[in-house]
Amino acid sequence: MAKESLPIIDMSGLQVPGRSAEAMAVAEAVYRACVEVGFFYVKGHGIDQVIIDDALDVMSEFFHQPLDCKRRYAVNRNHRGFHAIGGAVMPGAAHADYKEFFQIGLELAEDDPDVLAGEALRGPNQWPDQPADFRRAMSAYFDAVGACGRQLLGAVALAFDLPRDFFAPRYTKPLQRTQGLYYPKRRDGGPADEFGLAPHTDYGCLTFLYQQPLRPGEDTTGGLEVQTFDGDWIRVPAIPGTFVINVGDLLQRWTNDVFRSTWHRVISRNHGERLSIATFFDPDFKAAIDARDLFTEPAFVPKYAPTTSGGHILGRIAESFDYRQELNV
């Protein structure tokens, strides 16, 4: 891999069904990127740019409201809603991240059986009434990225020589979390080692990130950076129309460390504010994460005990957010 840049994979071959040559070529490229660096861009993902732009617009409008308005939707025990600066501390980081976020998840009614059964992180979303288009735009974006996530998981399955729909029964009610992230302009006099988002690895399986492109004249010295195998940090600038995809810890574990969950961070250097939307596309709460399901040869030796998606994700959220200790969840 070139040191300075991530691969750009064209996903459009996945529109051809089954084990077609087109789909297998995508699977091979995805596999290589997940093994070598754990991060890549995708194009040819089939998501309408209008859906993406609408989501960025409503998120931007939401974050530019006074703090009081945003706090009306303060993050709840299901980790849905608005989270202000402070209180999100990456394990080992010296300071809280200098960011705000707003998170939505799978919309489930109060009388959904899993909600009634008390499954953690489940329930209805909090929908701000301003901007008025927020719910429509974010629901459309959530669904579109979810569909794209299913396609990409099909490629992962093909790469492991599994049926292309291997992940489908494990993603019936995914723990998908879509999060608008707002990084205000860096403040004067803040600590030198303050990050927009401190170095971390993602908790789950696959993350889809859309970065708002820079406006003309904006400087490019801030933003997302990824650590390569050699320890160097490389910049991952916004490429309009593409998503940045990365492997999280749960998929690394599921693949017995064949895929890499890579460290990354967001630095606000001198540049202005920044907006991105991250989608963590993770399996059903109760889905078993067991490498023996991916590696079926009899001699296979797993490195980790089986776990569940929900148990793992909940544990990781609790590690980074003080408010969960206060909630006692």
Ligand X SMILES: O=C(O)CCC(=O)C(=O)O
Contacting positions for ligand X (CB under 6 A): 181, 197, 202, 209, 211, 224, 264, 266, 276, 278
Q: What are the beta bridge partners of residue 279?
A: 178, 208
Distance CA 136, CA 139 (A): 5
Give the residue with the Cβ less far from ligand X, 86 or 306.
86
- In the list ligand X, Fe ion, none, the entry touching 225 (Cβ below 5 to 8 angstroms by class) is none
CB of 302: closest distance to ligand X in angstroms?
A: 27
- Closest to 277 measured CA to CA, from 208, 221, 226: 208
Alpha-helical (H) ranges within 94-133 are 113-116
Give the residue with the Cβ less far from ligand X, 30 or 266.
266
Give the residue with the Cβ less far from ligand X, 79 or 164.
79
CB of 282: closest distance to Fe ion in angstroms?
A: 13
The residues binding Fe ion (CB under 5 A) are 202
- In the list ligand X, Fe ion, none, the entry touching 266 (Cβ below 5 to 8 angstroms by class) is ligand X
- State the first-to-last Cα distance of the chain, in angstroms, to the nearest integer: 42
Give the residue with the Cβ less far from Fe ion, 78 or 262.
262
CA R_g for the chain: 19
- In the list Fe ion, ligand X, none, the entry touching 276 (Cβ below 5 to 8 angstroms by class) is ligand X
- Would you say 319 and 90 are in contact if contact means Cβ atoms under 8 Å apart? no
- In the list Fe ion, ligand X, none, the entry touching 181 (Cβ below 5 to 8 angstroms by class) is ligand X
Give the residue with the Cβ less far from Fe ion, 148 or 157.
148
Indicate the residue whose CB is closest to ligand X.
276
CB of 245: closest distance to Fe ion in angstroms?
A: 11
DSSP 52-103: HHHHHHHHHHHHTS-HHHHHTTB--TTS-EEE-SSSB--TT-SS--S-EEEE
- In the list ligand X, Fe ion, none, the entry touching 176 (Cβ below 5 to 8 angstroms by class) is none
Of all helices (H) and strands (E), which one includes residue 50?
Answer: helix 49-63
